[in-house]
Amino acid sequence: MRTQLSLQGISRLVEGTLENPAQLLGPHLVENSGRKALSVRAYLPESEQVWLIDGKHQAIQPMRRIHPGGFYEAICPIPTDDASPSYRLRIASKNGEIIDMQDPYSVPPMLSDFDRYLFGEGRHWHIYDRLGAHRRSVEGQDGVNFAVWAPNAQSVQVIGDFNGWDGRQQTMRKHIPAGIWELFVPNIQAGEKYKYRLRLGDGSTVEKSDPYGFYAELPPRTASVVADLNTYQWNDERWMSRRAGRDPLRDPINVYEVHLGSWRRDASGVHGWMNYRQIAHQLVDYCKELGFTHIELMPISEHPFTGSWGYQTVGYFSLTSRYGSPQDFMYLVDHCHQNGIGVLIDWVPAHFPKDGHGLRRFDGSALFEHQDPRQGEHPDWGTMIFNYGRNEVRNFLIANALFWLEKYHIDGLRVDAVASMLYLDYSRKDGEWIPNVYGGRENLDAIHLLREFNEQAHAQFPGILTVAEESTAWPGVSRPTSCGGLGFSLKWNMGWMNDTLRYMRHEPIHRQFHHDELTFSLIYAFPENFSLPLSHDEVGHGKGSLISQMSGDLWQKFANLRLLYSYMWTHPGKKLLFMGSEIAQWHEWNYDTEIQWDLLQWDTHRGIKQLIGDLNRLVCQEPALHQVDLRGEGFEWIDCMNRHDSMISFIRKAEDPNDFLVVAANFTPVVRHGYRLGVPRAGFYSEIFNSDSLFYAGSNVGNFPGCAADWTPHHGRPASLSLTLPPLATVVLKPNMES
């Protein structure tokens, strides 16, 4: 590059208004006495003297200070044996310290033309390996390569402890027209805190955390932290290999939803939080005891306000520092995998908060969000909505999802608030939203994002799960994109959850008038791959705990809760239960305190815990409860019309037609003696589960060890059973294969 110095250019550099300092700094070809020469320039404002060191011969040449602000230049012969000059800078600081370092402006950029092209197209799936802060060694000099997308900034500086938060000598070079700023900073290591200082178009400056940063300070501090994610030695090869070769939807999926900060507490930890490694062993042992196949973690990306539960994310690529380091979290995931437990995380691409150090108006413009508040602000949560139509923003989000799957071996993502993404008029009145190009309410850009996310996630990581929290009747949420669907593996069945909880709140004597709330879910149970959730949303927001929502006196509340869980676990669909609900916690969930573990001193609460463990094991052991629970051929009503007795009964079937279970549920506190139930064939039926069992602190009414069906036709079937149905309970019977 042939560049001559100008006083105006140097002044703009010193003032911090020069858009691309690489125009002046580093090595440049110049004319010197009619001959071509090499001009090496450096801007080092806190230095006393600077020398140029020849990288091969260690020849030292003093650099001339040509501006009192700390601008230096040295004129050298052009190397004849190497097109790329090799040199270092020796700097004497004002405090007497002398250091040698690589000239950041002599280092070739880490981002290639192809990287920038793919990012501009919105299809650089591993852009997190380029943008952000990455350790790098250049000619034996260790340092960190910083890169950030801020196309409308006037200039960008890296600031941190390593330069006293004075970024004048770490002004980044700009890749035009990509709008990416990049700089190699030598002599810094992992653990350094940093931010970007951006000069905006109006001359003001803002300090921002790194959108692609891998780690951050503990809130309320907001600096990003340099982290190396490649140092952890994984030991889950067997799990990862098995996962890639299986269809997870044919397997049992019993999910335990966890908020890490309030599952268990440690008084010696920061704010009472436990470290990821501490949690790992206790949580895995607990999940194995209760038979859960997966844990689902509420958002673990960095968020400034703990009370948002993680759903107002600032650092999308940054693991929250509340519970430890990235390597600590990797240990948790690794330990889960080694013990046969999958790990899902909540992911929030629907909105982000307005915190000043975050994404909002990142470079002075509406970069990640929409400019128009009718598109860019969420009326319910006071947050910003991503501009899904911008290639770089879509790339940011999809790459973020893939990042968690790759770097942390996550087994799936539960996508939060999908409904708010799909509809342009979500929570908006007439005149408060902008229709799409066809005049409709569908957010076409968000649909494209979700489809592309699912396509890439499933193609690059076979065997993972993607789960949509989608509360409307949008068709094909969990159907392949090739068939017009959104491509999710599963969809939360919010209709089942709302109807069933509403039904369970009714006093038993009134349930006969609300029978359709119990049976309606089977009308739409199979167009989607459903997961049945009793999540944190059902035990927060002033709703109270699940046990407190049950009707009746104390005995009936526990019986109703056992009945609810038994019905849920035998209903078609995968299962999810929020922590604390498995021990019938009385208090509404509080993110700032741990679960009421002391309740386990009571038989009733221990009984609920035992029930959940047995239900989980039943689902895992019985193919009829998981093999085809997402297809209609796995379910068959026996009697859904007994409104007067508030009774339902049905058959669950495996792929083998001879392998089936009979389920009968009594939603009244009345014992039903001699209750006749039609079944497919005669023979002995073992009672393999009874929610009224003494083991669960029930009244122990039932049919143990089972009963025989004869060839008395009933319910349109050739044979029938005469059962004793316990009060507010579910029984499950299995025919003997020999009978």
Comparing CA positions, the residue from 477, 478, 466, 518 lying closest to residue 496 is 518
> How far is Cα of residue 642 from the mean position of the Cα atoms in its chain?
43
Comparing CA positions, the residue from 406, 409, 291 lying closest to residue 340 is 291
Alpha carbon distances (Å) from 686 to 563, 660, 701: 20, 12, 15
Structure token pair of residue 111? 């981002």
Residue 690 exposed, middle or buried by CB count within 10 Å (0-12, 13-18, 19+): buried
Look up 416 and say whether it is catalytic. Answer: yes
Could you write out the DSSP letters of every residue in 578-612?
Answer: ETTGGGT--SPP-TTS---GGGGGSHHHHHHHHHH
Compute φ and ψ for 326, nearest 5 degrees. -55, -40
Coil, strand or helix at 450: helix
At residue 349's C-alpha, the angle toward residues 345 and 353, to 5°, is 105
Q: Cα(first)–Cα(last) distance of the chain, in Å?
A: 88
Distance CA 525, CA 511 (A): 22
Q: Which of 73, 103, 469, 499 is catalytic?
A: 469
Query: 94: Cβ–Cβ under 8 A, 6 or more apart, which residues?
Result: 46, 47, 48
Distance CA 432, CA 377 (A): 11
Comparing CA positions, the residue from 171, 173, 175, 174 lying closest to residue 116 is 175
Distance CA 109, CA 114 (A): 12
Residue pair 621/575 in contact (Cβ under 8 Å)? The answer is no
Distance CA 698, CA 546 (A): 18
Compute φ and ψ for 454, nearest 5 degrees. -65, -40
Radius of gyration of the chain (CA): 31
236 CB neighbour count, 10 Å cutoff: 18
271 CB neighbour count, 10 Å cutoff: 11
Distance CA 19, CA 488 (A): 43
Distance CA 286, CA 670 (A): 35
Residue pair 301/407 in contact (Cβ under 8 Å)? The answer is no
Distance CA 342, CA 335 (A): 10
Look up 469 and say whether it is catalytic. Answer: yes
Distance CA 302, CA 219 (A): 9
Comparing CA positions, the residue from 398, 451, 419, 412 lying closest to residue 350 is 419
Q: Which of 257, 346, 416, 452 is catalytic?
A: 416
Active-site residues, by number, are 416, 469
